[in-house]
Amino acid sequence: MTVTGTAAGRKFWGVLRLLPVLWCWVFPADFLIVEMEGKNQTVLLNGNVTISCKVPGSTPLNTDITGVIWYLKHQAHGTEHVVFEMYGNHQKAFRHGASVSLAGLEKGDFSLHLPGVQLRDAGEYRCKVVVTPEQAQETVFLNVLASPECTLFREQAKVKDDGNKYILCKARGFYPENIIIIWYTWTQENPQGQEISEGITTGPAIKNEDGTFNITSRLRLEHIVTTCQCVISHISLPTSCRLNFTQFQRGQDGG
């Protein structure tokens, strides 16, 4: 009597036939792996960025059965949509200029290139790679920053004035909104320089059409101030903006 003839045997072969199904259920498509560089990436407004997404390994991929879809979940409204897709002979960019190198695809490089990055490009990017019948995906968060343009100038004299003179320190076109503006002064009493705590009016930040912000800080000039400095610190700046203002002194020291 053969094994297949028994009830136990039928059960054995039945389980064996189920194995591939069970296998897929326990290890769903987990042989394909994609790697991204970290969980966060930062780019400056209007810059170009390449978001890395690679399948490690040295064997070339069969491009006939390979595809990639890039999704973006917007930072602002949380909705997800396709940015770019490529499979077979088909490729389509849903964001102007988005691209994945066809040459890179075979080598397992699915990195997404975005030129001229805007604030609306910020959010969570998902790279979904399919090498039929397997698939894998990873996500990375893209932060977009904008550096302030810093300027310092004397406020134009107005007809109706409070008799004081002001200097203005202005940061424009920055993102995100958080920014720190501090004033320092150098006087005869404080030749080392010290932070100014009075006579300062700052903000609020005003939003521009492109989503960036402007802010102005006004310092009331006192006659004892000889040199002052406005320091603007922002996450996008490797070193703070430091702008000096030196007041012309008319024959002081004796009146």
Ligand X SMILES: *[C@@H]1O[C@H](CO)[C@@H](O)[C@H](O)[C@H]1NC(C)=O
We find the least distance from the C-beta atom of residue 63 to ligand X, in angstroms, to be 24
| Shortest spacing between CB 136 and ligand X, in angstroms | 29
What are the residues binding ligand X (CB under 6 A)? 47-48, 115, 172, 186, 206, 208, 214, 227, 229, 242, 244
Closer residue to ligand X in complex, CB, 191/251? 191
In sequence order, the 6+-apart residues with CB closer than 8 A to the CB of 233 are 179, 180, 181, 182, 240
Structure tokens at 163: 């008799």
Q: Concatenated DSSP letters for 152-177?
A: EEEPPP-SS--S-EEEEEEEEEEBSS
Contact 245, 166 (CB under 8 A): no
Nearer to ligand X, 139 or 226 (CB): 226
Q: How far is the CB of 212 from ligand X (least distance, A)?
A: 8
| C-beta of 91 vs 214, nearer to ligand X | 214
- Closest CB 118 distance from ligand X, rounded Å: 13
Name the CA radius of gyration of the chain, rounded: 31
Of 122 and 129, which CB lies nearer to ligand X in the complex structure?
122
How crowded is the C-beta side of 99, counted as CA atoms within 13 Å? 8
